[in-house]
Amino acid sequence: MPPARTRVLFVCVENANRSQMAEAFARLHGGDGVEAVSAGSRPSGVINPRAVRFMEEVGYDLTAHASKSLDQIEGEFDAVITMGCGDDCPWVPARRREDWALPDPKHMDDEQYRAVRDEISARVRALLADLARTA
């Protein structure tokens, strides 16, 4: 039987920027050993075109993603990471919970947007390494 994959859920309000990028980085950094999902407490229904463009710069195609609601998410997770959605985030079963409280980059200039993207990448890489150590 193959080893269980680490399940990680990333949550923000619109599921259009931060959580989408985090899901993408978890897939990039975690490979087949990670099942990454993202959702929003009030999803916008679209991925921000700037998120698509800035993830393309690092070799990831976000156009295959969809903005989805937490209502569509099932099961338990090894980690649930919220990104500043506060009280709007319902409880999802998880062994570990963190709030990264990253600023929403949707109104930022390109340089600031890339800085948020790069911070998400670094945090996802650290999270996956820590989850692997504590598995």
Q: Report the pLDDT value the prediction gives residue 3, as an integer from 0 to 100.
A: 57
Among the listed residues 8, 12, 51, 83, the single catalytic one is 12
Q: Is 85 a catalytic residue?
A: yes
C-beta of residue 45 within 8 angstroms of C-beta of residue 20: no
Q: Is 87 a catalytic residue?
A: no
Q: Is 3 a catalytic residue?
A: no
Q: Report the pLDDT value the prediction gives residue 35, as an integer from 0 to 100.
A: 96
Which letter does DSSP use for residue 70 in this model? Answer: G
C-beta of residue 62 within 8 angstroms of C-beta of residue 24: yes
Domain 6-130 in CATH 3.40.50.2300? The answer is yes
pTM for the full predicted model: 0.93
**Per-residue pLDDT tens listing for the chain (135 residues):** 455 789 999 998 899 999 999 999 999 999 999 999 999 988 999 999 999 999 999 999 999 999 999 989 989 999 999 987 655 566 677 889 899 989 999 999 999 999 999 999 999 999 999 999 987
Round to whole Å and give the CA distance between 86 and 90: 9
Query: By C-alpha distance, which of 36, 18, 32 is closest to 127?
Result: 36
Collapsing DSSP to helix, strand or coil, 66 comes out as coil
Domain spans of the chain? 6-130
